[in-house]
Amino acid sequence: MNGAVRNPDEMVRVGLWLNVFVCNALVNGYCKQGQVGEAERVFRGMVDC
């Protein structure tokens, strides 16, 4: 199990990047549908930990 995570900081960076990528995709999708309020709600839900 130790070999799986060699660099915890790198895992955190990848996780944050993926989170931002997914968040941007969701917001862009909602904005194209004209649901900006829904996009904002989802974004706030993802950012608030």
Residue 1 has pLDDT above 60, yes or no: no
Residue 49 has pLDDT above 50, yes or no: no
- Residue 49 in any domain: the answer is yes
Structural domain of 23: 18-49
- Residue 3 in any domain: the answer is no
- Residue 7 in any domain: the answer is no
Residue 3 has pLDDT above 70, yes or no: no
> How wide is the angle at C-alpha 48 spanned by C-alphas 34 and 41, nearest 5°?
20
Select the more confidently predicted residue: 34 or 1: 34
- Residue 9 in any domain: the answer is no
> How far, in whole angstroms, is CA 4 from its chain's centroid?
22
Within the chain, strands assigned E span none
What gap in Å lies between CA 12 and CA 18, rounded to an integer?
A: 10
What is the reported pLDDT for 5? 62
Q: How many domains does the chain have?
A: 1
- Residue 37 in any domain: the answer is yes
